[in-house]
Structure 1
Amino acid sequence: MAPLFVLANIAVFAYKLHLRLKEGDPAFELFCYNYGLIPREVLTGRSLHSLVTHMFLHGSFLHLLFNCVPLYFFGSYLERDIGSAKFTAVYLCSGVLGGLAYLISEGLRSPGAPV
């Protein structure tokens, strides 16, 4: 599964690049808005799916690279150790928990936010 998650990350990055270059900024921005982690949208329940989808969005090639290289090498090792099902659960739960931590930190930085 680790290599598949790497491929999924690369595919989403390539699609974002395609949107920006071929479709223009509005299509690119809409894609990022619909699938990125936007606290207001999650906290109002309009974008709960983004707790998972944000994991596949990367802001730059280096961001993608520095996420995918460890995922491929460490993830493949971990997956061999614990199995594909548990690895998938760990990967997805880690992303969701990271998203929740981001939401909490945004609430702390923004007094009055409905966290």
Structure 2
Amino acid sequence: MFIRTERSIKEFIQFYPIVASLVMIHIALWLLIDLLQLQFGSFLYEWGIGSNYLVDQGQYWRLVTPLFFHSDIMHMLFNSFALVLFGPALEQMLGKVKFLVAYLGAGIIGNIGTYAFGASEIWNVHLGASGAIYGLFGIYVFMIAFRKHLIDPGSKQVVMVLFIIGLIMTFVRANINIHAHIFGFIGGFAIAPLILTNVRPFSPWRNQQRYRDDDSIQFDPKRWKKRRVSKKNIIWIVVGILVLLGILGRFNIL
């Protein structure tokens, strides 16, 4: 479920338009706010960042908009990487509309949890897609517990290893919005039984169409055999990437 077999970015966008669009929004906002430091970017940041104090003042859109902003490049890359890793399988299984509803719904529940239990001082702000990402974890954990036919053993192992690592890091690392992580996970878990009705397991064969430049559709029956990777190794690959990102962020290399 988590091994990417797309031949190009164009093909990834065609197969998973919602995941691709969310990642592009993350990158675009980072470019406007952090890299280019445009005035319009600063306006968007001030308008959309999460703040319990400002929600108290009636700015309820801030329960949604923080999902698209990130504090720095490492924060943006980490969440975008997690979305690219865990989002595509669910987007195929649920369809574009239900996936977007589940993603935003879990993220909003995470921000509501932050509002209900977090500090409301004006200088306490929060941002990031982590609540929504943990919502995806909630959906996968629900499948592992109650819809075992929807997830294969290798993918189950990947989910549980990374979920446990993420849970530990939630309470160990500084400047983590614990409420968003916990309530985002709860939101995804609660939404799961509503959206998993009549859902089929993920299958790369549903993405078997290959598009030529002239938009004609072709398929190579040996394509997936060429790209097969051991599912036992994918855990260590993913963990290694996460550790590398954490080290780079800690020493401000990126």
TM range (shorter): 0.7 to 0.9
- Cα 1:39–1:19, aligned 2, differ >3 Å: closer, same or farther? farther
Given the alignment, which residue of 48, 69, 78 partners 1:35? 48
Q: Tell me the amino acid that sits aligned with residue 61 of structure 1.
A: I
Structure 1: which 5+ runs fail to align?
111-115
The structure number with the bigger radius of gyration is 2
What residue in structure 2 maps to residue 80 of structure 1? 92
CA RMSD, 1 decimal: 2.0
What residue in structure 1 maps to residue 61 of structure 2? 49
Q: Does 1:99 find its partner at 2:111?
A: yes
TM-score (norm 2): 0.38
Deviations 1:32-53 (A, max 9, x none): 33111111111221x2112111
- Structure-1 separation of matches of 2:62 and 2:36: 19
Deviation at 1:19, TM superposition (A): 5.6
TM-score (norm 1): 0.79
Deviations 1:39-84 (A, max 9, x none): 1111221x21121111011001111111001111211111011111
Contact in 1 for aligned 2:63/2:108 (Cα 8 Å): yes
- Cα 1:39–1:12, aligned 2, differ >3 Å: closer, same or farther? same
What residue in structure 2 maps to residue 3 of structure 1? 20
- Structure-2 separation of matches of 1:72 and 1:53: 20
Structure 2: which 5+ runs fail to align?
1-17, 122-254
What residue in structure 1 maps to residue 5 of structure 2? none
- Structure-1 separation of matches of 2:69 and 2:106: 15
Number of positions where the alignment pairs a residue of Structure 1 with one of Structure 2:
103
Deviations 1:1-32 (A, max 9, x none): 11111111111111112563x54xxx73x543
What residue in structure 1 maps to residue 180 of structure 2? none
Structure that is richer in helix per residue: 1
Aligned-residue sequence identity (percent) comes to 26
Contact in 1 for aligned 2:19/2:84 (Cα 8 Å): yes
- Structure-2 separation of matches of 1:55 and 1:16: 15
Contact in 1 for aligned 2:26/2:68 (Cα 8 Å): yes
SS at match of 1:59: coil
SS at match of 1:95: helix
